[in-house]
Amino acid sequence: MPYTRIKICGITRPEDAQVAVAHGADAIGLVFYANSPRAVNPGQAEEILRVVPPFVSTVALFVDEQASVIEGIMSALPIDMLQFHGEESADFCEQFRRPYLKALRVKPGLDLVEAAAPYGSARGLLLDSWQEGVPGGTGKTFEWGLAESLREHAVVLAGGLSAANVGEAIARLAPAGVDVSGGVESAPGIKDAGRIKEFISAVRATD
């Protein structure tokens, strides 16, 4: 039976991480990008990570960050996976010797196969919506048909997902995982327990 992995991203409070885990999230995401309304600093991240139990993955998201900053966070915090949401090259992503996701921002005209080709070492390709000047977290979906060329890859689907549409997305694309942030929030960075439960239930119902 298929099992779609679920990541709840943009966690800013320990209680939100606890709710996500309690309802069955496979991973939580921490945003280390100062321009995001969901950004956390290392101190906040440490408090959140204290409540994450064994076998739930922790993912640190960066956007064109300096290698030294990433290395500092990796050495200070128990991070399982890195997520690169900017213009990072494959060589840059690989230097940390840690499993990573590479985000590709999808828009009409983008050759996804060509864009994905350099990142053969990535654990997965995260497909998000393109918006000028915004590296992610747009809250908007993209044309899912554009992702069908990557069926042979481990795809994590993001961009405007919610309990209302995630089932359709999974049925259409059968991604390895789904990633949600704004779709389970009451305000930017503040997760809503009811929406988290509904989202995860919708994924599992489709599985």
- pLDDT tens digits for 141-170? 888 887 888 888 899 999 999 999 999 999
| Count of beta carbons in the 10 Å neighbourhood of residue 111 | 9
φ, ψ of residue 28 in degrees (nearest 5): -120, 145
Alpha carbons 138 and 194: distance in angstroms, whole number = 21
- pLDDT tens-digit series, residues 66-99: 999 999 999 999 999 999 999 999 999 999 999 9
Rounded mean pLDDT, 1-29:
95
Sign of the alpha-carbon torsion through 131, 190, 70, 6:
negative
Q: What is the pLDDT of residue 133?
A: 56
Count CB neighbours of 152 within 10 A: 8
Please list the active-site residues.
9, 128
pTM for the model stands at 0.93
